[in-house]
Structure 1
Amino acid sequence: MDSQKKDPLYKSFGYAFEGIGTCIKKERNMKIHCVAAILVVIAGVILKISSLEWCICLTLFGLIMALELVNTAVEAVVDLVTEERKPLAKIAKDTAAGAVLIAAIMAAIAGIIIFLPKGLTFLGL
């Protein structure tokens, strides 16, 4: 058995929420993701998207925001390890950012598929 005493579960959740809050405060892209999520929720309510469409949107919010948190963590660790420009550090940072970008592009495409027809109908087009 582990000889170190572990923090209670509520402290673990506290650390996780602190990490999320730090990322929202310090990372421009996380702020953009949060604003986009709010706008999607507003559009979803106005356009009355289905339960399945809500599940898709919520899953995509979670994926993108989770990837942004991981990207932030990778960048912080790389910066902690070295201040020099190193090829491996660049690969770590760029690929983590690329993961967020791929998820965001796919989410945008899913958003177009879900919202464009409903928006056109809402506008009477």
Structure 2
Amino acid sequence: MSDKPQPISSFKSKSGAKRIVGAFFYSMEGFKAAWKGEHAFRQELLVMVVATIVALCLPLPALQKLMLIGVFVLVLVVELLNSAIEAVVDRVSLERNPLSKNAKDFGSAAVFLTFTLAATTWVVIVAPLLGWNW
């Protein structure tokens, strides 16, 4: 008997460079699926592209530019997680259930909070450039 831990799932059997390469391709498949099937992801990606261009053009230190771009990357991360939760809930059952509704609503609330953080970050960093001091 080997001391090597056995994988919990046959999908978890790769290690080393094979795992890294496989993870990259699975990630690309995830991006493709999100682009094709998730309207919110496409909309938020468009906002992020515009925000990135604007952030890079603003006369701000690099760290503040990173923050302006990073908060919208965070929005996309949370949107992908929300979409994953929705997919799992729908995979389990399409029947209406209060627990399924809660799971989807919690994911939506997480996206909302993240978007609120992004908007607030932008206001706090960009407002002084516009002469808005409080």
Q: What TM-score comes out, normalization by structure 1 length?
A: 0.85
Matches within 5 A, 1:3-18: 5-6=13-14, 8=18, 9-18=20-29
Identity of aligned residues (%): 31
Shift of 1:69: 0.7
Q: Deviations over 1:32-88 (max 9, x none)?
A: 111111111221233222211122123312221111111000000000001110000
What is the rounded CA distance, in whole Å, between the counterparts of 1:45 and 1:52 in structure 2? 11
Q: CA RMSD in A?
A: 1.7
* Aligned with 2:128 (options 100, 117, 120): 117
SS in 2 for 1:16: helix
1:71 pairs, out of 82, 103, 110, with: 82
Q: Which has the larger radius of gyration?
A: 2
Name stretches of at least 5 consecutive residues in structure 2 with no aligned partner: none
Assess if the C-alpha contact under 8 Å between 2:89 and 2:100 holds in 1. yes
- 1:97 corresponds to 2:108: yes
Tell me, yes or no, if structure 1 residue 58 matches structure 2 residue 58. Answer: no
The count of aligned residue pairs is: 120
**Which of 25, 34, 37 is 2:48 aligned to?**
37
The higher-RCO structure (CA 8 Å, 6+ apart) is: 1
Question: TM-score when scaled to structure 2?
Answer: 0.80
Query: CA separation in 1, counterparts of 2:71 and 2:61?
Result: 15
The 8 Å contact of residues 55 and 68 in structure 2, kept in 1 or not, is answered as no
